[in-house]
């Protein structure tokens, strides 16, 4: 579809589609891929392109994002509007269950938890995205239509990008809380970097990413040891991958499908970890921890993992 639209509008391969893929295909949320009637794209430093495909050829989303209002109320949520799923006690029980199961046949499982928020009013997704970007301009900020509504968030984790034959990935695994006290904050970061447990779990993720991307790449390099990635609220262990794709080069979507879900959000081995997640998590992740990003008609694209989102 994207190639057809690009040819019909003379886009020269630059027509962009944005989309989301759910954490699991078996859940209630489907994949989406939408072409906006008008896109502003920065294709190179100093170069900005306006792509206008026209309303008549656009596959419209069921949930339009609309315009950004001049202002919206800034009311705080109360504790009565927040509902943790599972409860902290239930989550602790599930984690203990996973720990008992870990062994050679189940090396890693990542359990998620969520907070259900009753805002009591309609929230504007694009306005929220702009606020998130202001707080963390280095994150992958998104407000993308899905079959369940609009997914909005700011993720620190690059699943994969593809520009021509160059491919990149930046998996994160292992984290520690930030602190307003500089000495405590530095101590938290140093403890994370020295943690044998966190480094072992990070190594599992790196091992898998290297194996998957290595099957597509003629050349592939990555950081020999994890580094610290700083976000406003959390320290992460980070490893950067860079590769050169074989010819004919795989497109961004093919790379996304091969990588997702990584051990950073599911576990290892993948199928065994997914079975445990299905058994122990009392909710459908939907688009959470799934890929969110964009692609163009040439196969280029950039996809993050949908974290820090709603």
Cβ within 8 Å of residue 259, ≥6 positions away? 159, 160, 169, 209, 212, 213
* Residue 197 is a catalytic residue: no
Q: What are phi and psi of 14, to 5 degrees?
A: -95, 0
Beta bridge partners of 221: 242
CB atoms within 10 A of CB 8: 13
The C-alpha atoms of residue 172 and residue 180 are separated, in whole angstroms, by 23
Alpha-carbon torsion angle 180, 183, 188, 189, nearest 10: 100
The answer to whether 131 and 143 are in contact (CB under 8 A) is: no
Q: What are phi and psi of 245, to 5 degrees?
A: -70, 150
Q: Which of 47, 56, 89, 157 is catalytic?
A: 157
The DSSP letter of residue 239 is: -
Alpha-carbon torsion angle 148, 152, 158, 162, nearest 10: 70
Maximum Cα interatomic distance, the chain, rounded to a whole number of Å: 58
Residue 98 tokens read as 């996973």
Q: Which of 108, 116, 247, 279 is catalytic?
A: 108
* Residue 157 is a catalytic residue: yes
Q: What are phi and psi of 22, to 5 degrees?
A: -65, 160
Residues with catalytic function:
108, 157
């Amino acid at each position: 579809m994207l190639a057809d639209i690009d040819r019909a509008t003379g886009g020269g391969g630059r027509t962009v589609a944005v989309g989301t893929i759910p954490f699991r295909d078996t859940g209630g949320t489907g994949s989406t891929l939408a072409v906006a009637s008008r896109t502003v794209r920065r294709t190179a430093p100093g170069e900005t392109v306006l792509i206008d495909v026209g309303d008549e050829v656009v596959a419209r989303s069921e949930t339009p994002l609309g315009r950004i209002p001049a202002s919206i109320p800034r009311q705080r949520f109360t504790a009565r509007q927040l509902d943790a799923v599972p409860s902290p006690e239930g989550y602790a029980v599930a984690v203990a269950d996973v720990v008992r199961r870990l062994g050679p046949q189940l090396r890693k499982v990542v359990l998620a938890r969520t907070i259900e928020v009753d805002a009591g009013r309609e929230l504007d997704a694009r306005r929220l995205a702009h606020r998130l970007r202001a707080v963390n301009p280095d994150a992958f900020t998104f407000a993308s239509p899905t079959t369940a509504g609009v997914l909005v968030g700011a993720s620190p984790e690059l699943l994969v990008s593809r520009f021509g034959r160059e491919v990149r990935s930046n998996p994160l695994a292992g984290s520690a809380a930030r602190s307003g006290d500089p000495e405590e904050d530095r101590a938290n970061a140093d403890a994370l970097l020295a943690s044998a447990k966190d480094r072992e779990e990070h190594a599992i993720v790196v091992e898998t990413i290297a194996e998957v991307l290595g099957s597509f790449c003629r050349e592939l390099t990555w950081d020999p040891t994890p580094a610290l990635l700083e976000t406003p609220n959390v320290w992460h262990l980070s490893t950067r991958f860079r590769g050169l794709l074989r010819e004919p080069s795989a497109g961004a979507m093919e790379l996304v499908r091969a990588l997702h879900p990584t051990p950073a959000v599911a576990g290892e081995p993948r199928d065994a970890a997914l079975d445990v997640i299905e058994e122990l998590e009392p909710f459908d992740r939907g688009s959470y921890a799934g890929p969110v990003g964009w692609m163009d008609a040439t196969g280029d694209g950039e996809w993050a993992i949908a974290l820090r989102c709603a």
